[in-house]
Amino acid sequence: MTNDTPKELNPDQEIGRLIDEVMSSSLTDEQYRKKMQRRKEVQDKRIAEAVPEKGLIIVNTGNGKGKTTAALGMVLRSLGHGYKVAIVQFIKGSWEPSEKRVFSYWEDQIEFHAMGEGFTWETQDRDRDLDKASAAWEKSLEYIRNPDFHLVLLDEINIALKMAYLPVEDVLAGLAEKPANKHVILTGRGAPAALIERADLVTEMTLVKHPFRDQGVKAQPGIEY
């Protein structure tokens, strides 16, 4: 009798195979039930063997919209669990972001520092941008090292790295100082390869369509800020 689970398949491959098979309209109800039962067995085994908890280095990068938005979703989850959170914005700062006003309702749990002065094409002063990025990184290190903060969001730091406002080696060394259970999120397009290699979770947002690029629609409240 043929073994339904080839030994060479790892759990991800097996789950992928099972998903492909259950999409077939030729399966009987009993065959479908057995495939899904096997998928549950594989998934339950993976969960049982997983590490219970680990502080993660999370990178949201890519040209698509949603890098900071996704990170703020994690911020909200952490606040909902009662954890302390710190946010340091590296490039944005000339705006008074609506997120900052919303997070003021959790002022006993959150620290928010918008330390940039706007986008680089607006500031037009490289030396000042360097100074601002350095100051933002020093502030970030305070929170990275502080065990009281469960989550630290370094918003648009990847752009500071891409523009060589910060040495990637310094950022990697700083991340190595974080307590074992602390999560750090780094957002912005152009994340360097060394940071991606070091991270535990990397998501690349892919730009398919954008209202400004494709239709000339300006940034709107509630969508971009």
**Looking at 33, 77, 101, 126, which residue is catalytic?**
77
Q: Tell me the three state secondary structure of residue 48.
A: helix
Is residue 121 annotated as a catalytic residue, yes or no?
A: yes
**Looking at 35, 67, 92, 178, which residue is catalytic?**
67
**Looking at 68, 132, 137, 149, which residue is catalytic?**
68
Is residue 68 annotated as a catalytic residue, yes or no?
A: yes
Closest CA to 155 of 117, 116, 181: 116
**Looking at 156, 158, 178, 182, which residue is catalytic?**
156
Is residue 77 annotated as a catalytic residue, yes or no?
A: yes
**Looking at 17, 65, 100, 189, which residue is catalytic?**
65
**Looking at 5, 63, 126, 128, which residue is catalytic?**
63
Is residue 158 annotated as a catalytic residue, yes or no?
A: no
**Looking at 69, 120, 123, 203, which residue is catalytic?**
69
Residue 120 near residue 92 (C-beta atoms within 8 A): no
- Give the Cα separation of 216 and 59 in Å (integer): 29
Residue type, 79: L
Is residue 63 annotated as a catalytic residue, yes or no?
A: yes
Is residue 5 annotated as a catalytic residue, yes or no?
A: no
Is residue 119 annotated as a catalytic residue, yes or no?
A: yes
Is residue 69 annotated as a catalytic residue, yes or no?
A: yes
The residue written with tokens 């109800």 in the block is: 29
**Looking at 10, 49, 121, 209, which residue is catalytic?**
121
* Kind and range of the H or E run holding 80: helix 67-80
- Give the Cα separation of 225 and 223 in Å (integer): 6
In the sheet where 183-187 sits, what is the strand order?
Answer: 110-114, 85-89, 151-155, 183-187, 57-61, 201-204
**Looking at 40, 45, 54, 119, which residue is catalytic?**
119
Report CA dihedral (173, 178, 181, 183) to the nearest 10 degrees: -80
- Give the Cα separation of 184 and 116 in Å (integer): 19
Q: C-alpha distances in angstroms, 87 versus 11, 72, 122, 189?
A: 36, 9, 22, 18
Question: Phi first, then psi: what are they for 97, rounded to 5°?
Answer: -65, 145
> Which residues are known catalytic residues?
63, 65, 67-69, 77, 119, 121, 156
